[in-house]
Structure 1
């Protein structure tokens, strides 16, 4: 269910007369609960409430309708209820039909409002529908309400204008929507003189049957594109005379307007009634794009990137340094003025800018730093909330120009919205910092905004989009262009700073279109490596590296983990780090979540890159900031080593083999029932039928069997008619194969194509892939006779302490780093992950301790039989005794490594890479291991 649909249902519920008996069920229905769920709650079979008038839905909400004036007391009863705790309710809600209070129990966030204002609380309650609400949506649900109104208008206009619903006209419709939104915002904020000037004009001058709505709007747009002194000559109609001249490119193109139905006109007027001045400028572009994208229309979270995530890029790239310099400046006027001059020289460039979120946030953050500078220069008290001091200072206007913000965006509509979002952000900042009247006087006619180019970022020349600064004797005197900004006295050559940032698209090599593959080929042109296996995001790093060579700058991108994990590390990072490049900072592996329902959050990292310098290198992980000497391509502190595959274990652990491959056309494989029939009906010896497990069977507890005739006389096997049929079928499949090696296997059709087990060993079996949500790798210990398929790995006849290593957090972070992922799941490799895993020499007592730890884990699992690994290792439902056994295992193992528990995964990796470097050098007779050196190609 989309957030916009929920908002509509909640609004309807709040507008209806209050029905105490039905309200709880209508509320749950609004958040997407099915009728069958509501029936069970109505019958009382699933209502576990212990509060009078209450309704409790497990793992969701405990709510109650109470008597008049008892809302607060009832909410406290719900919070202190034992049933609330036992049922793991996320929210409590109480209402008497007049007032309403709701609280999210995990965070303590609450909303108190009149019942008719229930829509103001729906943003907080979005998790009831499985939607992860970011802070901006919780605090400001107007963004969702606006998206909902625009979505309905957009769809209705397409119905009424089918000729606009295609590639040829879609850009016109999108531009029309951008103009509407500007008008809504302008009339709500005072940019247009008069209260709701635009919406009232629609109401007053368009016919109720909507027949002339398009003509009236077209005339309003024409007026806003005509200077006041030229309107008489242009014969602007009287009803449009009150509108200001806007210009700025927004109304200068085609002024054709789509036709409106009565419904579309109604949606237009309703949208205008919203309080548009409350729109978050950092969400503005995403909101509009959520309307314009057909496949994701109305799903704001598909596009919205939360401010905290964006700041993970911008803060270490340059904002933190600006704030530090502000603190160092104190009240020193010269230092404060120089810092403000520096702000005026900073350029921000997003070569994958979408609707402009990164640019808008960068601009707003820089304006906040400038605000604090001005307060200090005027002798005011510099506090974060001190805005009123600045409001009364007319003339102190921003030195930060929108023309210092650059972008590249492949969609023309998104690029236009990015430019518009910057203008709106500037106006809102001006209102806050210099006052409403001064801001309004400055904004029209619209001046130059961000320099966002429509194009393919991997084919555009970045040096042309955001060219290196030219030496000049002074910065442009009028820092704000035509708006009359503050002129700063600058002498000498300007020290311009350029920061490249953004969130480029992620596409694995197998998922790329032919056009995207060609994009990478063009981006990689000039490098002596092939982009054949490269993730699409590598293109931005390659282009960014080339930009760094020509322009003084630093870059930072949000990136899929694939570029610093697995085989791509050794293939591409040496080329990126050549010519004296280095990783400046990193934020390894965190959840990049958004608002969208039923959309898994992506695990990403942030990587900052610059030319080699003396700047402090930083790694931000686990809420901690760590200063390091250098950062390697795995984002591990102080290690540039690249891990290569090994045929044999580096440490003194048992060898691990790839599972056996049937290559049989599924003729040697059977289900559990088929295996029973083979033994009981067809007389196949039970010893010839063995359990066969791949990753799926291991994790989900699926029973699968195979015919294992490795040490069986084939003539004896053929005397069984049923077996002979199976063997002949395998021979036919192999003979008809396109592969010569498979055709050769037709000579031994009773055997697996590739055999890596004897079949009679004890075995530790390891899954080939594991969910990114699972905290431990899937592995199990089996007695003799169990086989691993080619979709798993096996350690045969191994001491059980090997299982302790595999099930540790240490091993998981090593695998995640050096093996990488298959899509979003951990991908295991014996040659790259197990054989390279550094393990210190273990004493007999230490092996015994680890053996007991492994046994404790197996016993904890056994206590929950027949639950499968997938169930036992659900992050939200892992049994306490199993978690305790794993915690003991990690504690025991990590104390062997460093005498205590590791604090973070970064610390774990730093230790493992240090050991790997030393152990490989020793194993190779003192030769240094392979490194991603600067200067290497």
Structure 2
């Protein structure tokens, strides 16, 4: 880091031209001189003074970077490599890329990812702009309007004071990234704020303020404005360097040189903290076993080759001590006006393996009010929400995985949105491409920006070429606008019917074709087997067998599992999985109970590009990526396969993964879905159509072994859109008889709509709104004791019961939201901003002066209304608004 900054300092004129490069040229000829020469240079950069090795006066740099002047001895070839780097032009190095590159280069396990793609800066700005810059620019618009009005009234000094106050506002600003990494977000924010500062200074010049008088204010944005928290000590140090390089680059571009910088050139503001952002503790202590020895676990990264199978298995000799966190508590963040960042992407299922069971246990205990099943990133979302709710921060904007829309994660959001003093989603992108900073992998993320109060927001969706399409309205916790799908509740009628399949935890459960099908060797199906081609897999399912019974009755299967499953399961964090290594990690006994007496069940892939349902033999073992609906009436297959359900499921379940695929979360997509109440003839018709649909698809796949469900539905989607088919797609169309598939779906959609008593040609938003309304009707029915059980003989074998207490009205439910009345602000600039916000709320409608008067409480007096009219006209003069027939509206 010291070498790289010295190269940068040379190229921006903080050292004499090529001074460091010449030093390296000398050291290449005599490598033994490298350590003493570079140490002397860095000592002088730390303190300032005359450098003997450069034969030049050196400015004082300090800033902590040169407090340690340790240098590593290099041979001639290594100095040559350093010299080649120094010969590059570091003046315009992109700090965001530079930081990430350096961070990965320092970690041996990350070096293979150096060629990975970097997150485009435009993506970072998509969050920084609505989180920080847009509210500040709204303030700035108001300040300019006030200054112009004062100038027109001959009050030039007052106008200058108004502008200077805003300049000081920027200088006092604090921005926090509580998971800053190597400071990509903070650097981009710093540069955007410096641009805004430059605009403010230009306006001051236009008001007659010279450069000297502007400089006397001392109000400027520096790296001190940027606060960060980072767990990785290397990344935290790099973050400081990135901010300073970015700041010096901006100063050089805006002033032409760095001569006017004071000493030291770098300052150590202690603004980047190296600590955990969500959990603090007094100390860590070893967990001891019964004999008093430290408990250890597999380190999670080291593997070895199994002597029998030849496969990679955990190396049980690579151990790390298990430590208990003593005195764990929630962290405190430094106060900041805005919070922005990209916290780590760790799903709840991976937290134990990635963070350690003891850490996760302590985390969940400290944040006991939050659901245990939330992703790691939601702890940042929760803490950011608290900062805004308390008034410490104006807004926050975070990157999360797009699983933020899933049930447990959504509960964190709903706590704030439904509070009697609510927060609002001001901006959201529910699905956006990204590059994971941890491993360079392509992922899908969501962006959310939150502020205080009850307000509408801007919802963006990504189109082709990453073009954004915006909607304006109330954004719900599932990051949608329109029908409040996220507000639907679980219906008692639908519970204990749908679930996921089993979780194996060990590939060794799969057997080859030499194992005949038996009571414990069963057919296995995963999501891929449904969407693509069936792989005809088999697994050993020893659920219900004790280990001695497995050994005595199925010795071959026992040995297979002992060799292929046990080495993996021996390192599992969960004791029950280690001790019962011959049984699936999650054998799902409740699903086994539900399928008793059923020949077929309805299944759908949990994640799929297209949402479809099919029938499966109940004896087959489904994996967790298959949703199993234990209903034996094909009428339900028909309703679930209809557009009415798939549309609802698509929004209720959300999307995830690189392919942005539909996610069927049965607790939200099935258990909240209100089924129709058809007549018997309608039910028979839907049942017949469903059976024809399922038979048609399976027949065509049997006849054409390469034909897949995804392929057929891809082509069906193109046919509906009127898009031309390629030769390959025409082949799928012919083999799948996709024209007939379309007819069957059209008939089914119409039949299900009729069962609801709805027209067959309803718009999608109308369908969704009717389903939301029907969910509320059904919930009210159940509260009165009427439950329309889907499978009464299983769900309610004794009697039809009333709704459970969990569905009763909660006396502690949040109070209805009350929008607080606007107050006429105290300052002229704030009044201009308030009027601009009123125009934004009015949208395309003209805002009359009478409407302005009544928008504030108490109602504006004639004097205040005249001032408001003048400010609105000033907004027009600045090009921020226009005058229409009925008043003013935003441009």
TM-score of the superposed pair, with normalisation by structure 2: 0.61
Shift of 1:674: 6.4
The structure-2 alpha-carbon separation of the partners of 1:180 and 1:605, relative to structure 1 and needing over 3 Å to count, comes to same
Q: Aligned ranges for residues 527-566 of structure 1 at < 5 Å?
A: 529=369, 532-548=372-388, 549=390, 551-566=392-407
Shift of 1:531: 5.9
State which of 420, 423, 428 in structure 2 corresponds to 1:587. Answer: 428
Quote the Cα distance in structure 2 between the aligned partners of 1:516 and 1:690.
Answer: 35
What corresponds to 1:504 in structure 2?
343
What corresponds to 1:277 in structure 2?
91
State which of 43, 47, 58 in structure 2 corresponds to 1:243. Answer: 58
The structure-2 alpha-carbon separation of the partners of 1:449 and 1:534, relative to structure 1 and needing over 3 Å to count, comes to same
State which of 570, 579, 601 in structure 1 corresponds to 2:442. Answer: 601
Contact 2:459 2:472 in 1 (8 A): yes
> What SS does structure 1 have at the residue aligned with 2:472?
strand
* Cα deviation digits, residues 363-403 of structure 1 (max 9, x gap): 111122233344445459xxxxxxxx999x99999722322
Shift of 1:536: 1.9
Contact 2:427 2:449 in 1 (8 A): yes
Shift of 1:406: 0.7
Quote the Cα distance in structure 1 between the aligned partners of 2:447 and 2:384.
Answer: 14
Shift of 1:457: 1.2
Contact 2:491 2:778 in 1 (8 A): no
Unaligned ranges ≥5, structure 1: 1-177, 381-388, 469-496, 679-683, 709-723, 744-751
Quote the Cα distance in structure 2 between the aligned partners of 1:396 and 1:598.
Answer: 45
Contact 1:776 1:812 in 2 (8 A): no
Shift of 1:245: 2.3
Report whether the alignment pairs 1:221 with 2:54: no
Contact 1:348 1:501 in 2 (8 A): yes
Contact 2:476 2:486 in 1 (8 A): no
What corresponds to 2:119 in structure 1?
305
What corresponds to 1:16 in structure 2?
none
What corresponds to 2:10 in structure 1?
187
Shift of 1:281: 2.5
What corresponds to 1:703 in structure 2?
536
| Alignment RMSD (CA, Å) | 5.5
Shift of 1:871: 6.5
Contact 1:355 1:415 in 2 (8 A): yes
Q: Give the paired residue count.
A: 656
What corresponds to 1:632 in structure 2?
477
Contact 1:419 1:449 in 2 (8 A): no
Q: Aligned ranges for residues 446-461 of structure 1 at < 5 Å?
A: 446-448=266-268, 451-459=271-279
The structure-2 alpha-carbon separation of the partners of 1:868 and 1:198, relative to structure 1 and needing over 3 Å to count, comes to same
Shift of 1:353: 0.7
State which of 598, 605, 610 in structure 2 corresponds to 1:776. Answer: 610
Shift of 1:322: 2.8
Report whether the alignment pairs 1:796 with 2:632: yes
Quote the Cα distance in structure 2 between the aligned partners of 1:552 and 1:370.
Answer: 21
Quote the Cα distance in structure 2 between the aligned partners of 1:308 and 1:910.
Answer: 35
What corresponds to 1:765 in structure 2?
603
Contact 1:574 1:932 in 2 (8 A): no
What corresponds to 1:348 in structure 2?
175
Shift of 1:293: 2.0
Report whether the alignment pairs 1:408 with 2:408: no
State which of 659, 662, 670 in structure 2 corresponds to 1:834. Answer: 670
> What SS does structure 1 have at the residue aligned with 2:136?
helix
Contact 2:178 2:341 in 1 (8 A): yes
The structure-2 alpha-carbon separation of the partners of 1:931 and 1:214, relative to structure 1 and needing over 3 Å to count, comes to farther
Quote the Cα distance in structure 2 between the aligned partners of 1:675 and 1:605.
Answer: 47
Quote the Cα distance in structure 1 between the aligned partners of 2:383 and 2:540.
Answer: 54
Q: Aligned ranges for residues 110-509 of structure 1 at < 5 Å?
A: 178-194=1-17, 196-204=18-26, 206-228=27-49, 231=50, 236-252=51-67, 254-297=68-111, 299-300=113-114, 304-326=118-140, 329=144, 332=148, 334=159, 337=164, 339-379=166-206, 399-434=220-255, 436-437=256-257, 441=261, 445-448=265-268, 451-459=271-279, 467-468=334-335, 498-509=337-348
Report whether the alignment pairs 1:916 with 2:792: no
The structure-2 alpha-carbon separation of the partners of 1:300 and 1:802, relative to structure 1 and needing over 3 Å to count, comes to same
Quote the Cα distance in structure 2 between the aligned partners of 1:367 and 1:898.
Answer: 56
The structure-2 alpha-carbon separation of the partners of 1:525 and 1:316, relative to structure 1 and needing over 3 Å to count, comes to farther
Q: Relative to structure 2, which stretch is displaced further, 619-628 or 417-426? A: 619-628
The structure-2 alpha-carbon separation of the partners of 1:498 and 1:670, relative to structure 1 and needing over 3 Å to count, comes to closer
Shift of 1:618: 3.5
What corresponds to 1:83 in structure 2?
none
The structure-2 alpha-carbon separation of the partners of 1:833 and 1:192, relative to structure 1 and needing over 3 Å to count, comes to same
What corresponds to 1:67 in structure 2?
none
* Cα deviation digits, residues 826-853 of structure 1 (max 9, x gap): 7645555323224567795995998688
Report whether the alignment pairs 1:810 with 2:647: yes
The structure-2 alpha-carbon separation of the partners of 1:833 and 1:812, relative to structure 1 and needing over 3 Å to count, comes to closer
Quote the Cα distance in structure 2 between the aligned partners of 1:608 and 1:295.
Answer: 34
* Cα deviation digits, residues 551-581 of structure 1 (max 9, x gap): 2432222123444303444478538965734
Which one has more relative contact order, counting CA pairs under 8 Å at least 6 apart? Answer: 2
The structure-2 alpha-carbon separation of the partners of 1:291 and 1:546, relative to structure 1 and needing over 3 Å to count, comes to same
Quote the Cα distance in structure 2 between the aligned partners of 1:671 and 1:216.
Answer: 66
Contact 1:281 1:421 in 2 (8 A): yes
Quote the Cα distance in structure 2 between the aligned partners of 1:868 and 1:669.
Answer: 23
Shift of 1:410: 1.3
The structure-2 alpha-carbon separation of the partners of 1:590 and 1:308, relative to structure 1 and needing over 3 Å to count, comes to farther
Shift of 1:727: 14
Contact 1:302 1:595 in 2 (8 A): no
Shift of 1:292: 1.4
Shift of 1:250: 1.8
Report whether the alignment pairs 1:618 with 2:466: no
Contact 1:661 1:753 in 2 (8 A): no
What corresponds to 2:415 in structure 1?
574
Shift of 1:247: 1.8
What corresponds to 1:100 in structure 2?
none
Contact 2:486 2:652 in 1 (8 A): no
Shift of 1:417: 1.6
Quote the Cα distance in structure 2 between the aligned partners of 1:323 and 1:790.
Answer: 54
Quote the Cα distance in structure 1 between the aligned partners of 2:106 and 2:240.
Answer: 16
The structure-2 alpha-carbon separation of the partners of 1:242 and 1:854, relative to structure 1 and needing over 3 Å to count, comes to farther
* Cα deviation digits, residues 419-459 of structure 1 (max 9, x gap): 1211111122222223x225664586223557111111123
The structure-2 alpha-carbon separation of the partners of 1:325 and 1:915, relative to structure 1 and needing over 3 Å to count, comes to farther
Contact 1:569 1:634 in 2 (8 A): no
Quote the Cα distance in structure 1 between the aligned partners of 2:656 and 2:112.
Answer: 34
* Cα deviation digits, residues 12-37 of structure 1 (max 9, x gap): xxxxxxxxxxxxxxxxxxxxxxxxxx
The structure-2 alpha-carbon separation of the partners of 1:885 and 1:327, relative to structure 1 and needing over 3 Å to count, comes to farther
Quote the Cα distance in structure 2 between the aligned partners of 1:516 and 1:587.
Answer: 32
Shift of 1:862: 7.0
Contact 2:638 2:748 in 1 (8 A): no
Q: Aligned ranges for residues 821-860 of structure 1 at < 5 Å?
A: 828=664, 830=666, 832-838=668-674
Quote the Cα distance in structure 1 between the aligned partners of 2:8 and 2:401.
Answer: 36
Contact 1:582 1:934 in 2 (8 A): no
Quote the Cα distance in structure 2 between the aligned partners of 1:284 and 1:216.
Answer: 26
What corresponds to 1:12 in structure 2?
none
Q: Aligned ranges for residues 38-117 of structure 1 at < 5 Å?
A: none
Contact 2:25 2:83 in 1 (8 A): yes
Shift of 1:860: 7.6
